[in-house]
Amino acid sequence: MNILFLLSIILCGYSCEKLADHTNFIRVHNNTNDTIQVYAGYNYPDTTLSLEKPRLVMIYPNTQNGGIESRTDWEDKVESDTLIVFVLSKDTVDAYNWEKIRSEYSILKRYDLSLQDLKRRNWTIEYP
């Protein structure tokens, strides 16, 4: 039994990435009492919300644990050196369909940040 436990720990150590070491992670600190959801847009200067509902990342109130992750380098994903981070209220996302959110541009905040800006911020966004 101990051997199985030890093997599981070893296998997990090889397959699990640590967020602290992950160079493609943008941390979002939610400094409010509300749950927010975020996602990144890559086609700046087009700041419209995506046609299809994106995968939203939930970030709980007063937490610094959430963020946006990419399996590839940000430089390879961002077309114009500027990344767009959209912040939405979880309540809005729960109450309305994506088409309505998109057409009314129902966001709490939008960050347009160059990769240099993000590096200077240590890949961290403070909301609000």
Is 45:3 a contact under the CB 8 Å cutoff?
no
pLDDT at 79: 83
Q: Into how many domains does the chain fold?
A: 1
- The answer to whether position 8 is within a domain reads no
Q: Which parts of the chain sit beneath pLDDT 50?
A: 15, 17-22
pTM (2 d.p.) = 0.81
- The answer to whether position 122 is within a domain reads yes
- The residue written with tokens 């030890």 in the block is 6
106 is in which domain, residue-wise? 18-127
pLDDT at 11: 62
pLDDT at 48: 96
Phi, psi of 110, deg, nearest 5: -130, 130
pLDDT at 55: 96
- The answer to whether position 115 is within a domain reads yes
- The answer to whether position 7 is within a domain reads no
- The answer to whether position 42 is within a domain reads yes
- The answer to whether position 2 is within a domain reads no
